[in-house]
């Protein structure tokens, strides 16, 4: 390499240089009052807007900010010039453009800004996962700063799709309590006509390593899984669940979650959302009128009915905190999940693994809400971004042409009846759908833990609906060591895997989907249990217990377990109660009280430590969320609590 290879043969047009230009024509729509009373920033902003080419005479229109998680660069024909991190943020520019054109058509002035997001699938098993959950807080903070940095904005539109960008956008909009806001969900990726979904395809490495998949099949399946360039993955993971939740909150239009990305209905949702937010602004309806305690509870109801990702147990509390609402507790989650039947049969929970686009065609969130309304489980009086109540929205949906046509399309296109995707409670019970999550406690998890109990393989559940597994623990102090054991034959049917040190203080609370997905799709995996203080992908299934609290590096008893310990897991899928306990060793079984005493007296595992590659940014995030209440309060920044702790610390230091 040399300077000549860099500069080489230069295009002669580079010497066609201008040193000045005429500037935009026309005049700013200034008045004496504007010049006398408005700050210089407002006036200079119009100069900048004219410089970017906006018609000067139209610059006094209402300013609407469009804040998207777009990444990548597309040519006009859609081919990539530069890739995004994932399909979920690659096509969002089309929705942003549709919204912007509608805003301009209605006489307002659109502004667009971007805070892109990472992909949890891309970072699985890598050090990139150490930035995943912390990114959510940082992105929400940057979004809030960008919103405030457009001082004259009248309304804000968020456009987001996936695991961290969408929760971050929800948090940012929820905190804009005195602004009109709306969120446009970025929709779903299409499944391949022949092939595997984007969840199962993430296990090709583990299946190949266990001689359960050929190299040729792995290569082909891996190529074909994403059948459209945009949208969140085809399963009801964290991306799909977040879309469902934002609609259930009333912060997105009815029947906007999970739409097929890139298609006319998907772009039309963006136009409709632009019209809606301007109407909200006109009528003085702001975010605090929509995101309320009742709306938060509605979102929890819908989460349970869909069988959604356990990551929303982190995100819904964070949205509630941002909105100044009551933050749901473990007791609230338990109560909701005991009340609400699961009604939706989609990937990854089944029993029939329909892709999420079928859930959209079957009626999506409003269809599920019709069933919940009949059960008396919804707050129908809450206000939504339509400007009307939830009850009014559902009245419209039930009789709408939109509902009838989309449901008929599902029959015509896929030969699937919509009531086989979204069921009434009686049919759901007949098909074996069980409620979504259970929160096992015990001497390993005294603060609680989470298991998506509805997704435990029915073949390992007793006739009474109770999953029972007593087995010998195999201890791992890193996810890397655990996946290596799976790939090299170190895990067998009947084992209980314990992966410690994966909480916020250890890894930024990494997502361990490469473990859970491998166990799901390996022949012996359903006979293995997993316990961890890390979290799970929304597409995770099986007997996997996460969010164990306290985490190991905070002194939690999970960090005191050893190879050879015997663990007893009991999860009642019908009554949603469970326990996870250390009960001694194979040679020395103990009562629960005796075993608890042993754990209290043990030291932490000698190999337990924060990941050496943990970024400084994540260490700071972990410390801040820890003093703010930790995972069960959503890993948020509670500013008052942080300041209180800092002041107490400073006082203690100065008194020495």
pLDDT at position 124: 87
Cα distances (Å, whole numbers) of residue 26 to 22, 32, 57, 643: 11, 18, 8, 51
What does the mean pLDDT of the chain come to? 95
Across the range 539-554, mean pLDDT stands at 88
Q: Does residue 149 have an active-site annotation?
A: no
Query: Nearest to residue 240, comparing CAs of 302, 323, 293?
Result: 302
Across the range 540-565, mean pLDDT stands at 93
Above 90 in pLDDT, residue 125?
no
Q: Report the C-alpha gap between 581 and 596 in whole angstroms.
A: 8
Q: Report the C-alpha gap between 347 and 198 in whole angstroms.
A: 10
Query: Nearest to residue 392, comparing CAs of 369, 417, 422, 419?
Result: 369
Pairing of strands 448-450, 73-74: unpaired
pLDDT at position 522: 86
Q: Report the C-alpha gap between 507 and 613 in whole angstroms.
A: 9
Neighbours of 297 (CB within 10 A): 23
Q: Report the C-alpha gap between 4 and 39 in whole angstroms.
A: 50
Q: Are 230 and 258 in contact (CB under 8 A)?
A: no
- Give the model's confidence band at 539: pLDDT under 50 very low, under 70 low, under 90 confident, else very high: low
pLDDT at position 521: 80
1 secondary structure, DSSP code: -
pLDDT for 247-294, tens place per residue? 999 999 999 999 999 999 999 999 999 999 999 999 999 999 999 999
What are the tokens at 418? 């919509």
Q: Are 175 and 322 in contact (CB under 8 A)?
A: yes
Q: Are 576 and 276 in contact (CB under 8 A)?
A: no
pLDDT at position 517: 82
Above 80 in pLDDT, residue 537?
no
Q: Which residues contact 490 (CB under 8 A, 6 or more apart)?
A: 474, 484
Above 80 in pLDDT, residue 592?
yes
Q: Are 257 and 369 in contact (CB under 8 A)?
A: no
188, 537, 540, 628: the catalytic one is 537
Q: What is the residue-wise DSSP string for 488-513?
A: TT---TT-EEEE-S-SHHHHSS-B-H
User: What are all long-range contacts of 324-329, with beta carbons under 8 Å and residues at least 24 apart?
Assistant: 324/177, 324/288, 325/291, 325/292, 325/293, 325/295, 325/296, 326/293, 326/296, 327/633, 327/634, 328/296, 328/297, 328/300, 329/632
Above 90 in pLDDT, residue 4?
no
Query: Nearest to residue 617, comparing CAs of 153, 150, 141?
Result: 141
């Amino acid at each position: 390499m040399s300077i000549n290879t860099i500069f080489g043969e230069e295009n002669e047009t580079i010497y066609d240089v201008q040193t000045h230009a005429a500037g935009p024509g026309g005049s700013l729509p200034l008045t004496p009052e504007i010049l006398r009373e408005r700050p210089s920033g407002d006036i200079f902003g119009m100069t900048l807007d004219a410089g970017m080419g906006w018609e000067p005479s139209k610059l006094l229109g209402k300013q609407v900010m469009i804040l998207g998680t777009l990444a990548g660069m597309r040519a006009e024909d859609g081919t990539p010039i530069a890739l995004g991190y994932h399909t979920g943020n690659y096509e969002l520019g089309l929705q942003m453009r549709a919204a912007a054109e509608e805003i301009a058509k209605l006489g307002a002035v659109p502004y667009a800004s971007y805070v892109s997001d990472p992909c949890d699938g891309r970072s699985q098993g890598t050090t990139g996962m150490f930035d995943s959950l912390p990114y959510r807080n940082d992105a929400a903070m940057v979004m809030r700063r960008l919103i405030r940095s457009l001082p004259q904005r009248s309304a804000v539109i968020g456009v987001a799709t996936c695991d961290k960008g969408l929760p971050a956008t929800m948090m940012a909009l929820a905190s804009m309590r005195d602004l009109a806001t709306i969120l446009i969900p970025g929709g779903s990726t299409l499944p391949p006509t022949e092939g595997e979904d984007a969840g199962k395809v993430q296990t090709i490495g583990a299946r190949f390593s266990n001689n359960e998949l050929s190299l040729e099949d792995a290569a082909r399946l891996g190529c074909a899984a994403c059948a459209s360039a945009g949208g969140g993955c085809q399963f009801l993971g964290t991306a799909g669940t977040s879309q469902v939740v934002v609609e259930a909150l009333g912060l997105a239009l009815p029947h906007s979650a999970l739409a097929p990305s890139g298609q006319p209905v998907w772009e039309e949702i963006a136009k409709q959302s632009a019209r809606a937010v301007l109407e909200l602004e006109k009528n003085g309806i702001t975010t605090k009128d929509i995101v309320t305690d009742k709306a938060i509870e509605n979102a929890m109801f819908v989460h349970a009915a869909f069988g959604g990702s356990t990551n929303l147990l982190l995100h819904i509390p964070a949205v509630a905190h941002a909105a100044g609402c009551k933050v749901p507790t473990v007791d609230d989650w338990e109560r909701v999940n005991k009340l609400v039947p699961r009604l939706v049969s989609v990937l990854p929970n089944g029993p029939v693994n329909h892709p999420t686009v079928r859930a959209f065609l079957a009626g999506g969130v409003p269809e599920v809400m019709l069933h919940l309304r009949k059960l008396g489980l919804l707050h129908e009086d809450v206000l939504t971004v339509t400007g009307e109540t939830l009850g009014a929205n559902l009245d419209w949906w039930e009789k709408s042409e939109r509902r009838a046509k989309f449901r008929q399309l599902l029959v015509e296109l896929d030969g699937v009846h919509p009531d086989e995707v979204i069921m009434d409670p009686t049919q759901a019970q007949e098909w074996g759908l069980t409620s979504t999550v259970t929160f096992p406690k015990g001497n390993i998890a005294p603060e609680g833990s989470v298991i998506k109990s509805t997704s435990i393989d029915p073949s390992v559940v007793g006739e009474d609906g109770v999953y029972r597994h007593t087995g010998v623990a195999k201890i791992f102090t890193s996810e890397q060591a655990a996946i290596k054991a799976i790939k090299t034959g170190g895990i067998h049917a009947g084992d209980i895997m314990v992966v410690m040190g994966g909480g916020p203080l250890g890894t930024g609370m990494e997502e361990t989907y490469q473990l859970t997905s491998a166990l799901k799709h390996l022949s012996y995996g359903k006979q293995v249990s997993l316990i961890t203080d890390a979290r799970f992908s929304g597409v995770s299934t099986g007997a996997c217990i996460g969010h164990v609290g306290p985490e190991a590096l905070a002194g939690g008893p999970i960090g005191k377990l050893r190879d050879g310990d015997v663990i007893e897991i009991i999860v009642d899928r019908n009554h949603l109660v469970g326990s996870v306990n250390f009960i001694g060793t194979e040679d020395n079984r103990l009562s629960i009280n005796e075993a608890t005493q042993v754990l209290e007296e043990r030291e932490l595992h000698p190999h337990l430590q924060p990941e050496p590659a943990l970024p400084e940014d994540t260490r700071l995030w972990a410390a801040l969320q820890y003093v703010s209440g930790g995972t069960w309060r959503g890993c948020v920044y509670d500013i008052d609590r942080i300041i209180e702790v800092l002041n107490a610390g400073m006082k203690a230091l100065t008194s020495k």
